[in-house]
Amino acid sequence: MKRDMDLIRSILLDAEENAVDETDFYMPEIPEYSEDQISYHNGLLYDSGLINAYRTANKTNGVRYYVRRLTWQGHEFLDSARNENVWNKAKETAKSKGLDLGLDVMKELLVSITRSMLFGS
């Protein structure tokens, strides 16, 4: 499955709004995406250290990752990605260069755009 940065952002926004305590977990509901897509991206976010998650596995549903809460790094990334204008400008910049960006480079680009908006360049 291909990584979808818009879904990554949507999950982080949802997790910030709906964080649960350490003994609970949930599957975000994002209308444009299937539970399989969301679970896969929850796993990517967990692997990258942006969320705390709970992993289950069974023969019926396969592996599922459920969100508990954002980590410090998740909050940091989301603070850079929250603004819709900044997010869209970062995606447009990457697309105009013909690039697919990973999380680290995307965060750097988001921070750079935010700094440019704040301080000019």
d(CA 119, CA 117) in angstroms, rounded, equals 6
Domain ranges of the chain: 5-70, 77-119
| pTM (2 d.p.) | 0.89
Longest dimension (CA), the chain: 54
d(CA 14, CA 105) in angstroms, rounded, equals 22
pLDDT at 119 over 90: no
Q: 3-state class of 70 per DSSP?
A: strand
Whether 26 and 67 have beta carbons less than 8 Å apart is answered as: yes
Phi, then psi, of 117 in degrees rounded to 5 = -70, -35
- pLDDT tens for 9-40 read 999 999 999 877 777 899 999 999 999 999 99
Please give the sequence-ordered ranges of beta strands (E in DSSP) within the chain, or none if there are none.
51-58, 62-70
pLDDT at 44 over 70: yes
- pLDDT tens for 64-106 read 999 999 999 999 999 999 999 999 999 998 888 887 788 888 8
